C-alpha cells in the first residue's frame, strides 16, 4: 500500500481553529479592559470585544495552527 501525505496544512488548521482563537481573544480583551478599569481606564463592552476579536483572531489562529502543526510533526517523527 502506498503511503500518502494526508497532513493538515497550517492554513487548514488555522481555519478550523479560528472560532476558538477569536473567542479566546474576545475574552482576553474584555478581561484586560476590566483590569484596566482598576487603573482608571475605560472598560469596553463585551460586544466591542467581540468586534475587535474578529480581525485580531486571524493572527492568533495562525500562531495556534503553527503550534499544533509542530506538535503533529513531532508526534509523527518528522523534522520541521
Q: What's residue 78's pLDDT? A: 78
Q: What's residue 5's pLDDT? A: 63
Q: Which sign, positive or negative, has the C-alpha torsion 64, 65, 66, 70?
A: positive
Q: Is residue 21 part of a domain?
A: yes
Question: Which triple of cell numbers denotes residue 51?
Answer: 468586534
Per-residue model confidence as pLDDT tens digits over 1-13: 455 567 899 999 9
Per-residue model confidence as pLDDT tens digits over 20-78: 999 999 999 999 999 999 999 999 999 999 999 999 999 999 999 999 999 999 998 87
Q: Is residue 3 part of a domain?
A: no
Q: Is residue 2 part of a domain?
A: no
Number of domains into which the chain is organized: 1
Q: Is residue 39 part of a domain?
A: yes
Q: Which sign, positive or negative, has the C-alpha torsion 33, 34, 37, 43?
A: positive
Q: Which value, to the nearest 10 degrees, does the dihedral of the CA atoms of residues 40, 46, 47, 48 take?
A: 30
The pTM score is: 0.83
Domain assignment of residue 52, given as a range: 10-76
Amino acid at each position: 500500500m502506498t503511503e500518502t501525505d494526508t497532513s493538515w496544512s497550517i492554513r487548514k488548521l488555522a481555519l478550523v481553529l479560528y472560532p476558538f482563537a477569536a473567542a479566546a481573544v474576545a475574552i482576553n480583551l474584555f478581561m484586560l479592559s476590566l483590569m484596566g478599569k482598576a487603573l482608571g481606564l475605560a472598560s469596553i463592552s463585551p460586544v466591542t470585544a467581540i468586534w475587535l476579536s474578529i480581525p485580531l483572531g486571524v493572527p492568533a489562529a495562525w500562531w495556534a495552527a503553527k503550534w499544533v502543526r509542530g506538535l503533529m510533526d513531532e508526534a509523527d517523527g518528522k523534522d520541521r
